[in-house]
Chain A
């Protein structure tokens, strides 16, 4: 007997390349999305600051623009730079 494959449909999942599971700001899973978004992935991307901390992009943007955040990373209190 010989086995001939005619078609192979495979399944994979994607994950962000990030050490933590959840966003330090919204506490939602990174592989999900921030509280303002509906769809994960490209629609709700992650960003890494120069301090290496990572957040949902929407979360950190909201954060750094809030009056009392003083443009600081909420985790390490260093100045937030993309």
Chain B
């Protein structure tokens, strides 16, 4: 045994320097770097010591254990020596050779992108060619070492795990040039360009960036040069398993850019189905490119599949989720975008995010005082339709729209808006809905009717909040859904009655054909019994027309007026209560009414008439020296202005006495005429009528009850000079649009609340307190706004 061991050691001692020398020469021939013998000498000394130890114990022939361990030390030392020699050689030769190519070729003029591309392609190709050569040389070296090591089994085992590709990658790229990352990044970008330019699919403006200054005829050459270089570099990377170390981060960031660009390109394209197009795009462009860069492999296939099923689709889903509010606005034109989103919503957390995002959009864009109730309703109706397409269980709709419903419930004019869009002339979704869904009227009271045969059955998703009543999810038609905001039909019917009353009283025309048609539609939906009041109201109008004609014929000549006075006689229990205020009327009108009463009682002996003096409409013309102004106003307004015919000016106290009304009521009525710029208050509590229409041109200051009235009046002249300046800063039209929206929705508001709201909802409108108040005053002076008690309201 000891003789064999001795011979192996001797063989090793004698052959190793020769083997290493041989290796060195191989490496040296592959690179220009000179060899360094110092390590070799050092390692030879270490090896010598190991050999001596081995032979030392070989003398004690019978001590097997010591000999075995000495042999292991020898093999280990040999392995260390060989591997460190290989590593040292890679470090000393392969790495510098590679980096030298990249570092020593000067980059051309920065501004010339075509030249930079060419330079980068050539440089990378050259560097990787050098790398490939030196790794190949080390491979040969290592094969020789392995060959030698076969004579010592324990040595062979120790060095077999050594992988030249792995070691080379680790050593060469351990300390890259600082600019290397940027170079590879651009190289990868270039490779996609060269790959995609063939197919005309170069995203963003890369094409421009890469070859803007390249003459048209040279582009093909550039593309080929880049193509050849990238093919060469990628094949070195694939052969030497360098994809992860060198390329992968940049391939991923490249894909990220492509996915983002592709997603961006699909923004707002709600009419087309983008989901499928996205899949086709991946198959056509990124997939072949990835195979080109990474080589055919399972990993590459997985990456492509991930790109399709997750990456791009999630990016598209996120885009559509943020766009959902607009998709709803565009519905049904956006039906394809909804189908996409429906297909892309895979994870429960996506649905949760969607609900959250959409709720936030609703709150930000719709549920604020600046939005019109009709607009909120329109969007809500659109949301009902759109979200049902997205999720027929109704869970998303319910979760998203709960705040919308709550908000609509809190708005005073919601019912009125719903009702008026049901019955208005203008084309409206709801009106169509009313006409179309009458067949299923009263479905909510009939359980068997709620099963719609055409609806496919779908189970309620697991994340549905089952604590919520499911009625919403089941209710099928939009009008029922809207009515359910209020819980009952009755409130709705009441509101219709109020609306109808307003319409009939404010037009006071006997022509009600349209209202009769509406009533028929509403009867079908709400049931005849519920619409009885409205039916009586309309009947009253028809009957009034007939009675009025008969009564007018019986009127004595003595009370005849020089204007028509027609009467509508109501069945009092069927109309909403009218707010009645004491309203003294002009004597001739009162006389006429008395005679009318008498004539009516001849016609209907067992019935009596009771006047509602404050209700009605009077059309008057105010004749001035220089022209006339016409108004249609409530009788009280007419009576008030008639007082000025007799006397002018009036004090507030005198007017209160003459009209038998309270100070507040008189002020309110005066505010109307002041807003119309017919009456002027000057000084305080003294009122007079303008004498010429031309006088209306004088800008009046709105009276803000919060501030001292004298002050407000005093300011008229003082601020006149600054007005022009202020108006320039303020977009008056826009500002008025906003103010009128707020006031339409909220009735009346003080100036500072309006200002706060504008700050919140129209932050782009630069406005300060002072110019806003001046704006309001001007609006009051223009008759667009009225002010009382420090609050502003719209003049209708």
Contact = CB atoms under 8 A, between A and B. Distances in A.
Interface in A1-39: 1-17, 29, 31-32, 38-39
B564 A8 contact: yes
A34 B604 CA distance: 19
B616 A6 contact: no
A31 B575 CA distance: 12
A49 interface: no
B642 interface: yes
A38 B528 CA distance: 10
A62 B220 CA distance: 104
Contacts of B535: 38-39
Given A11-B612, A14-B604, A1 B645 contact: yes
Contacts of A3: 620-623, 638, 641-642, 644-645
Interface size class of A (residues with CB under 8 A): 20 to 34
Contacts of A38: 532, 535-536
Interface string B610-642: 111101111111111000101000010010011
B645 to A, nearest CB: 5
A7 B622 CA distance: 13
Contact of A8 (B539, B563, B571, B624): B563
Given A1-B645, A7-B618, A8-B618, A40 B571 contact: yes
B185 interface: no
A14 B575 CA distance: 12
Given A3-B645, A15-B572, A38-B535, A10 B616 contact: yes
B536 A40 contact: yes
A14 B570 contact: yes
A44 to B, nearest CB: 11
B608 interface: yes
A13 B567 contact: no
A16 B618 contact: no
B765 to A, nearest CB: 40
Given A38-B532, A39-B539, A41-B543, A7 B571 contact: no
B796 interface: no
B379 to A, nearest CB: 38
Interface residues of B, number: 56
Contacts of A73: none
Contacts of B532: 38
B707 to A, nearest CB: 30
A32 B589 contact: no
A59 interface: no
B565 interface: yes
Contacts of B648: 1
Contacts of B563: 4-8
Given A3-B641, A5-B563, A6-B630, A13 B572 contact: yes
Nearest to B578: A11
Contact of A1 (B569, B612, B691): B691
Nearest to B689: A1
Contact of B570 (A4, A7, A9, A13): A13
Given A1-B623, A4-B621, A17-B608, A10 B593 contact: yes
Given A1-B645, A6-B621, A40-B536, A14 B568 contact: no
Contact of B611 (A8, A12, A40): A12
B571 A11 contact: no
B608 A14 contact: yes
Interface string B566-584: 1111111111001000000
A17 B624 contact: no
Nearest to B532: A38
Contacts of A13: 569-572, 575, 609-610, 612
Nearest to B504: A11
Contacts of B641: 3
A12 B568 contact: yes
Interface in B703-760: none
Contacts of A14: 569-572, 600, 604, 607-610
B20 interface: no
Contacts of B573: 29, 31-32, 40
A1 B617 CA distance: 21
B505 A11 contact: yes
A13 B540 CA distance: 10
Contacts of A11: 505, 508, 567-568, 570, 578, 611-612, 615-616
A11 B569 CA distance: 6
B539 A12 contact: no
Contacts of B612: 10-13
A46 interface: yes
A63 to B, nearest CB: 20
Interface in A54-68: none
B619 A7 contact: yes
B466 to A, nearest CB: 44
A3 B606 CA distance: 38
B609 A39 contact: no
B536 A17 contact: no
A10 B567 contact: yes
Given A11-B612, A41-B543, A1 B622 contact: yes
A4 B642 CA distance: 9
Interface in B648-664: 648
Contact of B567 (A12, A31, A40): A12
Contacts of B567: 9-12
A12 B621 contact: no
Nearest to A41: B571
A15 B571 CA distance: 8
Contacts of A46: 606
Contacts of A40: 536, 571, 573-574
Contact of B564 (A7, A16, A32, A39): A7
A60 B716 CA distance: 72
A12 B585 CA distance: 14
B607 A17 contact: yes
A16 B571 CA distance: 10
Contacts of B564: 7-8
Contacts of A29: 573
Nearest to A1: B689
Nearest to B601: A17
B687 to A, nearest CB: 13
Contacts of B618: 5, 7-9
A78 B668 CA distance: 57
Given A11-B567, A12-B570, A14-B569, A6 B619 contact: yes
B569 A2 contact: no
B637 to A, nearest CB: 11
A17 B561 CA distance: 29
Contacts of A16: 606-608
A39 B604 contact: no
A33 B30 CA distance: 116
Contacts of B572: 13-15, 31
Contacts of A4: 563, 620-623, 628
Nearest to A28: B573
A57 B612 CA distance: 28
27 contacts: A1-B622, A1-B690, A1-B691, A3-B623, A3-B645, A4-B628, A5-B618, A5-B620, A7-B565, A8-B564, A9-B508, A10-B612, A10-B616, A11-B505, A11-B616, A12-B568, A12-B570, A13-B572, A13-B610, A14-B570, A14-B572, A14-B608, A14-B609, A14-B610, A17-B607, A31-B572, A38-B535
- 5 smallest CB-CB distances across A and B, nearest first, come from A9-B508, A13-B572, A11-B615, A8-B565, A7-B619
Given A8-B564, A32-B574, 11 more contacts: A1-B690, A2-B645, A4-B563, A7-B618, A12-B568, A12-B610, A13-B569, A13-B575, A14-B608, A31-B573, A40-B571
